[in-house]
Structure 1
Amino acid sequence: MPPRRVITGRSQEPRQRFAEELRSLRMQKGYSLRPLGDRLGWDWSLFGKMENGETLGGPEVVQALDQHYETPGLLLALWELAAGDHKQFRERYRRYMALEAEAVSLWHFAVSVLPGLLQTPGYAREVLAAGGLKGPELEQQVGARMGRRELLEGEDAPPFRTILSEAVLRTAPRDSGEWRGQLEYLAEAAERPNLIVHVLPHSAGMHGLMGAAVMFLRLPEGRTVAYTENGYRGELIEETQPVEKLQLAYDAVRDLALSSAESRKFVLRILEEVPCDPST
């Protein structure tokens, strides 16, 4: 059998191919590493190390690059092949991130923490640290989470609705200054035309989404998928019947929540309760 002909001329070794693709996409955009870091919110040196093959980066970093280069799922797939260890990157979460980048609308319920798409760096850092991350890995994941916020920015950003359990707004970071900044960012975001924020007060009582956060993605072909997550695991749900069941529960919760105008006032009242920094 004759040897297989290499068509692209690029490396057939997964890790090297991943690095080559990153470098090629950046050069097609026509800018250097530092502007790339500025645009996506990471230290530019991380991208340099990824392009040199010194590190693969994390899945959220790669997802942000996929969104930036408008190559939904390509870099994530190459990343998974380069990582070689499927335990490092669960297939369903990889698929969820690719679908999130393609979604034409998103709606969400937060049971305990704000959605990553609306987090500030300080808030994200404390949430991720509480989950056990620390050191360079922590900072890398904070940067990755900030990069994902690009999904909701710009003229073509998809509509996003979130319902926040009151518990989310009553669970503050230790740093009151960071909490103030997060609440101010949330109140500002709630005024964007593509964002709707609801608050579900404690007085609403029990409901069908108390066990986990859930994100719904409406895809270009018209179908909807859901991603549920608790403190220990997440699950992508694509089957029609369970997704519809979750949607019914979500609709019932939305009926119990405050209107968007009332919800913004609720957030501002919480903000007024945050102690001011005496040094300012």
Structure 2
Amino acid sequence: MPQRLVVTERSHEPRKRFAEELRRLRVERGLSLRDLSKAVGWDASQFGKMERGSTLGGPEVVQALDQYYGTAPLLLTLWELALGDPTQFKEQYRRYMTLEAEAVSLWQYSVSAPPGLLQTDGYVREALAAGGAKGEELEQQVEARVRRRKLLEGEDAPPFRAIISEAVLRMGLRDKQAWHQQLEFLAEVAERPNITPQILPFGSGVHGLTNTDTMFLRLLDGRTVAYTENDVRGELIEETDRVERLQRAYDSVRDLALSPAESRSFVLRMLEEVPCESST
């Protein structure tokens, strides 16, 4: 009988495995974080955060580590897998995030914040900080949310329609420069062929999704699932009848929204009202 292979105790979660490999390679060579910093050229605190899993770092630093350790392309491969790891999100979002990454088309109604897939770095940071996130937790969640935008980039990016309540554009941020950048981004993505933002003006009145952020995902098998969210909780909905009711409500909201061209003009008018420089 052949000898049984020994299975390592290393994590099967891509993000944790990446962090474990970084630490293993450094420790096996008897290096401190400061030693590594001197050898590779990045700040020691950056490597510490990467080994703790609070940040993934960028491809440049990972390639530099691969070259230094002579492990190419191991670390870069693990880093790429970690980018799509749903475990970097809080538990209640993990199954949704997995499905979102597999969706062939997406459409959303946003009540009080820009759609997550269209949020800029500055918006994400201020919103998460307002919710109580800080320190390494804040950095990890900012990085995870910002990387979601990659889903809508590239030639094979799925189509995404976002109906955005006017309340979103009236809310703004304390950091005026960050808010200006967010509005600029909404105007810019409106010109991409796969992204269709539409503004729902205040004058539209009450409708079936007034208080509910709702995302729909069309999956490879032809099913559509929905995710609804408010300030307290989120819910993934897969039952066909419930999804269909939400879709009918969404279709009614879309009938009330401005056209894509009118919506982009609306965002540009809002942009003119916001100063470019950050407030003091």
Aligned: 1:185 with 2:185:
yes
Aligned to 1:45: 47
Residues of 2 paired with 1:251 and 1:46: CA distance? 48
- Provide the identity percentage: 57
Residues of 1 paired with 2:218 and 2:141: CA distance? 26
CA shift, 1:94, in A, is 1.3
TM-score by structure 2 length?
0.74
Aligned to 2:8: 11
Runs (4 or more) in structure 1 with deviation over 6 Å come to 15-18, 21-24
Aligned to 1:27: none
The amino acid that maps onto 1:11 is: T
CA RMSD of aligned residues (A): 3.3
Residues of 1 paired with 2:14 and 2:7: CA distance? 7
CA shift, 1:275, in A, is 2.7
TM-score by structure 1 length?
0.74
Change over 3 Å in CA distance of 1:66–1:258 after alignment to 2: farther
Q: Secondary structure at the match of 1:173?
A: coil
Aligned to 2:31: none
Deviations 1:188-235 (A, max 9, x none): 011000000000000000000012101100000100000111112111
Deviations 1:38-74 (A, max 9, x none): xxxxx9637741xxxx44779xxxxxx99944997xx
Aligned to 1:128: 128
Change over 3 Å in CA distance of 1:129–1:195 after alignment to 2: same
Between structure 1 and structure 2, the one with the greater Rg is 2
Deviations 1:124-169 (A, max 9, x none): 1111111111222212211111111100001110000000000000
Aligned residue pairs, count: 236
Contact in 2 for aligned 1:67/1:101 (Cα 8 Å)? no
Residues of 1 paired with 2:248 and 2:271: CA distance? 32
Aligned to 1:271: 271
Aligned to 2:102: 102
Matches within 5 A, 1:26-37: none
Aligned to 1:238: 238
The amino acid that maps onto 1:187 is: A
Residues of 2 paired with 1:147 and 1:235: CA distance? 22
Residues of 2 paired with 1:228 and 1:170: CA distance? 22
Question: What stretches of structure 1 of length at least 5 have no aligned partner?
Answer: 25-42, 59-64, 81-87
The amino acid that maps onto 2:139 is: E
Residues of 2 paired with 1:211 and 1:126: CA distance? 22
The amino acid that maps onto 2:249 is: A
Contact in 2 for aligned 1:197/1:260 (Cα 8 Å)? yes
Aligned to 2:73: none
Aligned to 2:206: 206
Matches within 5 A, 1:51-62: 54-55=52-53
The amino acid that maps onto 1:260 is: P
Question: What stretches of structure 2 of length at least 5 have no aligned partner?
Answer: 22-44, 57-76
Change over 3 Å in CA distance of 1:47–1:180 after alignment to 2: same
